[in-house]
Amino acid sequence: MRILLNSGILFKKKNYVKIKKISSSDEVLISTIISILDRHFNEKYGTHGGSKLPVLAFYAIYKSLISEVGRYRDCRLAPLGSHTASDRTSKSAGDIQVMKDDRVFETVEVKLDKMIDINIARIAYEKIARFNPERYYILSYVGILDADREEIDRLILKIKERHGCQLIVNGLLRTLNYYLRLISDPKNFFDEYIELVKTDTELKTIHKTKLKKLIKEYKL
């Protein structure tokens, strides 16, 4: 038991990377933040864990949205779960769950290297039928599979008619860019993202070191 405990402490220390928050007193351009995130997400790390990076970015942006945007008044974020469970076996509605009155109000499912196809949309339908959110977002870094667009559109209409839920499929960076324009200080969002990356136990050292290098490169 002591050996396991010591191993866990050693891993935590080894996995810790000190990343400073933005030091610039000037306003940081949204385009700069998007460029850093794009490179951080798209790096070929050669290990698993990188798919959680955009999840952390959306968790950070929703923290700002909940405190600033009227739609999310009286809402809270459910704690982030493990990103290793499959969509079908996961007991949550999605990667990010916005809660209101102890029910799932809005859900975000994030895909880094998977195109949104009809199978992913159908899994979302199962989650919608179970949790009944008002909106369900599926956001992908690589976009939507063209061959499945019409079938996905038909499913979106079906979900709206039967459950009243809006299933929204969109690009990951495009959505982040839009959300950053809604909040008062994108710098606060990015500092929150830094903190989430720094403290996440599923990420590897290489993911954290890359962000540290990017911040230094962009002189933030």
Helices (H), the chain: 2-15, 30-42, 53-68, 118-131, 149-163, 172-182, 186-199, 205-217
For residue 97, the cross-strand partners are: 107
Instruction: Give the domain range for residue 202.
Output: 2-217
- If one counts the domains in the chain, the total is 1
| pTM beyond 0.85 | yes
Does the pLDDT of residue 7 top 50, yes or no?
A: no
The confidence score (pLDDT) of residue 13 equals: 57
Does the pLDDT of residue 134 top 50, yes or no?
A: yes
Q: What is the pLDDT of residues 89-100, one digit of tens each?
A: 678 999 999 999
Q: What is the pLDDT of residues 8-46, one digit of tens each?
A: 444 455 678 999 888 766 789 999 999 999 999 999 999
